[in-house]
Structure 1
């Protein structure tokens, strides 16, 4: 295929617009260009096509038969490329009537419902698919294109900022959780070393809270006795509620079980916060559905939930 490298779609667009408008001034106005830029593009295209396209009549350019032939084929080419771009976006699920969102289980209590309600107001016809999983699972699904956006706890080590857009929503404290019947110290935050003899339950590896769990006990200097690992935070809290063991959990879960779980702020050496963020691929930053989701996320971030109280009973 012999096409000069200097024949660009921009020049073809200028040419097609000129053929429609009939003069340089109206073409420049339609494209937001200067008349000089339009004239330069048409002259350059004529040189690269290697045949006369226009005749000069005074200050006007009059299309020749070759220009009429080129117009016909250029219009077909531009239409075909435009259709191809649209079909490519459709195949990638971009800008269509469905948005696939992944989320941590713990965010389904408040964050996800509020975002969904806002999205329904912004884009009533949009269908939303929701997938719940661990941090690691959701990142993997975003990377392989199975999800369009995810709501996760982020850390710099697992987020590639060159490929991913990250919109922070709120920060949350990690706290010690215990059955309502447990006798906890009334004197200030929890020192994990005081709970060396207690049994614990935890999330499985790959969950954001599991990483915080490991880090906190590493600082405390001992390995907790973990009697059970589970794959969602609601099951973990049910085990705490039933008295199976203690755990560490984010403060946002304090509304889950009324009067059944005690939450105690961690002492300073073990304190940590989760940063919850909306994450999606940078090459999709112009997808109208993701733009709407990001706008709703910014609205949510303006009123992010407060950190957990020093000690509360979940209610």
Structure 2
């Protein structure tokens, strides 16, 4: 049975030992680790006490490592390298990767926000590979909680103790009609005047569908639905083809050129979506997520 290792022997102290062996003096080791020379001196003496043997001899004010210190340093290099590999393997098994970032996104954000985010993250961390996962708000929130994505750009979810969100921008919802429709040149649309029209919409789980339901609840009637679709661009195609009207967020305004017109809703039905970056609180110190959050904050203020 192996003897118990003292609690006073820590990875941090072994790292300080290696820095001292490489730097050759207290000040050099302190600069390498961005700590004080006093902290280095204290850690080395504490390590010596924990080992229960002499590691250094004193020559003037200098600590001179002996053969025992050389042996411990050699072992420390192997231990720290093995532990770093173990941490990487553990994170990989849990779905985290130091060189891979899986970002969830709403379809509607791929026309502007997502390209800017990916460009920004590449500038900050060129070695980082990004993967995009598209879905509805409900799907993305589920994937986030299951660690199937590292972070998600979506409508900010309801308060959740497990989820941290950074708001990026707010987006108004509009009445969407094909070019040439009777609504095209209206300054605003009253949904109560559309009771006889046909509509198309997204399926359940999309934040835009939630707004669609709420608007018609306020209008006091259930719209005649031709079909439901699973992404916002298919929805816009149907509107452009004259299959039906719908409600759309302003961020997709330029996606179909002049084929689809977005007209403001009457004040009674106006609503806004808050779009943001969401991630699990337990990962808020993850270096990749810190870089992603920094990019998103920069885009927010640009």
CA–CA separation in structure 2 for the residues paired with 1:179 and 1:22: 74
SS at 2:192's partner residue? Answer: helix
CA contact (8 A) 2:101 2:129 kept: yes
CA contact (8 A) 2:173 2:248 kept: yes
CA contact (8 A) 1:94 1:287 kept: no
CA–CA separation in structure 2 for the residues paired with 1:119 and 1:83: 25
Q: CA deviation at 1:206?
A: 0.4
CA contact (8 A) 1:95 1:287 kept: no
CA–CA separation in structure 2 for the residues paired with 1:59 and 1:295: 44
1:8 matched to which residue of 2? 10
Q: CA deviation at 1:231?
A: 0.9
CA–CA separation in structure 1 for the residues paired with 2:29 and 2:292: 37
Q: CA deviation at 1:64?
A: 4.6
Q: 1:47 to 1:236 in 2, by over 3 A?
A: same
How many residue pairs get aligned? The number is 299
Q: CA deviation at 1:123?
A: 5.3
Q: CA deviation at 1:203?
A: 0.7
Q: 1:21 to 1:300 in 2, by over 3 A?
A: closer
CA contact (8 A) 2:102 2:151 kept: yes
CA–CA separation in structure 2 for the residues paired with 1:4 and 1:44: 11
TM-score with structure 2 setting the length: 0.82
CA–CA separation in structure 2 for the residues paired with 1:167 and 1:76: 40
CA–CA separation in structure 2 for the residues paired with 1:27 and 1:123: 27
- Tell me whether 1:210 sits opposite 2:212 in the alignment: no
Q: CA deviation at 1:80?
A: 1.7
2:160 matched to which residue of 1? 160
Q: Which runs of 5+ in 1 are unaligned?
A: 304-315
Q: Which runs of 5+ in 2 are unaligned?
A: none
Q: 1:256 to 1:20 in 2, by over 3 A?
A: closer
CA–CA separation in structure 1 for the residues paired with 2:34 and 2:263: 62
Q: 1:299 to 1:21 in 2, by over 3 A?
A: closer
CA–CA separation in structure 2 for the residues paired with 1:123 and 1:40: 36
TM-score with structure 1 setting the length: 0.79
Out of 127, 134, 137, the position equivalent to 1:135 is 137
CA–CA separation in structure 2 for the residues paired with 1:3 and 1:124: 40
- Tell me whether 1:226 sits opposite 2:225 in the alignment: yes
CA–CA separation in structure 1 for the residues paired with 2:238 and 2:151: 31
Q: What CA deviation, in whole Å up to 9, does each residue of 1:43-94 have, x standing for no partner?
A: 3223322333344455444445543433332232122223333444555453
1:147 matched to which residue of 2? 149
CA contact (8 A) 1:99 1:148 kept: yes
SS at 1:102's partner residue? Answer: strand
2:193 matched to which residue of 1? 194
Moved more, 180-189 or 6-15: 180-189
CA–CA separation in structure 1 for the residues paired with 2:280 and 2:43: 35
- Tell me whether 1:74 sits opposite 2:76 in the alignment: yes
